[in-house]
Amino acid sequence: MELRFGPLRSLLRCVLLSTLVFALVLLTGPAVAQDEEFADLSLEDMLELELDAVSIAGIHHTHDAGEWMVGFSYVNMAMNGMRNGTNRVSTSDVTDPAQFNFRVSPVKMDMHMLMFHLMYAPSDKITLMGMMPYVRKSMKHVTRMGANFTTRAEGAGDLKLAALYSAYRTESQRVIAEFGLSLPSGSIVEKDNNPMSGGADVRLPYPMQLGSGTVDFLPGVTYIGQTTSWQWGGHVKGTVRVGKNANGYRLGNRYKLTSWVSRTFTNMLSGSVRLDWNQWFNIQGRDPRQDGAVMGAMAPVVPTAFTNLQAGKRLDLLVGVTLYEPAGVLNGHRLSLEAGLPIYQYIDGPQLETDWMLTVSWTWTI
């Protein structure tokens, strides 16, 4: 039995919008009362607290020599409805022979990811990091004849390793350089059946695969500035693909630009508002076993199997809250939540548009 997420999606949208309004009021209004411990924290302690308000967004910071950090994140991204450029299009437009002329249209996609983090600082200048994701994807489709079906994929994603270098550091500012690699541990041969496969499992389209299949470079630079209770910064990161994978293609490069402002309210609470720009490009090469991209006497099957329909760009607005215990039995533990919505997206479509994203993260610094 297929689960229906319509009411839950509406509830989540209301929660996200309410959280956004609440966070903006907090960030622009008068400061909340600060307790005695908060007054005793140094500027450096403040920075460690505030950084966690944005660290769940993939913006990492260095640790002191000898420190370890273990962590766990849950990410949920929901995509519902089709878009071409900045315009929404219906599934009937996608399957209409007079318009896009596909036999199948995606309807919605849900992506759930569990990310395990491990960081260690051999010195004050360098922090080493490893991240291993476990991914679950599901995509609902509708055929030209009105039949619905869902394909699924689940498993480990690509392992990411990185070194963070503290290039510049004062009490109120930091510049951090990031040198990372993504290793192809995620599957690129995921299969499932559909109404046109006669009950047989066939290779799923590119967005449903779990990894890239290539070794990817992950360069990045982060700037952080702060006062006693405010922090701001910017982060630039790229994903640069190298070569082609065993199936004859490579995913498009990706670029991310993030800017944020955060505020520490007490020694246990901080919040953030963030703008996140993402741009990604079309696939180079082609997997010959992508059944949905076969051109012939019949109409092509599904747009997700076409390498020239994968690019896009999107600007997201996100708000975050972090709880931190600076002393006692839970010293070093942090719990963060960030939620956001796209405020602009342009897609080389027809493709599924993004509706919202949610991240919950726990870390423990030892």
- 18 CB-near residues (< 8 Å, 6+ apart): none
For residue 224, is pLDDT > 60? Answer: yes
Question: How does 299-330 read in b/e, with b if 16+ C-beta sit within 10 Å?
Answer: ebbbbbbbbebbbbebebebbbbbbbebeeee
For residue 65, is pLDDT > 70? Answer: yes
Band of the pLDDT at 23, cuts 50, 70, 90? very low
Q: Label the pairing between strands 230-241 and 216-226.
A: antiparallel
* Section 219-243 average pLDDT: 93
pTM for this model (two decimals): 0.85
Domain locations in the chain?
6-365
Q: Tell me the three state secondary structure of residue 11.
A: helix
* Section 173-180 average pLDDT: 94
List, for residues 235-254, the tens digit of each pLDDT value: 999 999 999 999 999 999 99
List, for residues 281-307, the tens digit of each pLDDT value: 999 999 998 866 544 435 578 999 999
List, for residues 77-96, the tens digit of each pLDDT value: 999 999 999 999 999 999 99
* Section 160-179 average pLDDT: 94
Quick one: pLDDT at residue 299?
A: 59
Assess whether the previous peptide bond of 205 is cis (omega < 30° from 0). Answer: no
Query: What is the CATH architecture assignment of 6-365?
Result: Beta Barrel (2.40)
Nearest-angstrom CA–CA distance, 343 and 319: 13
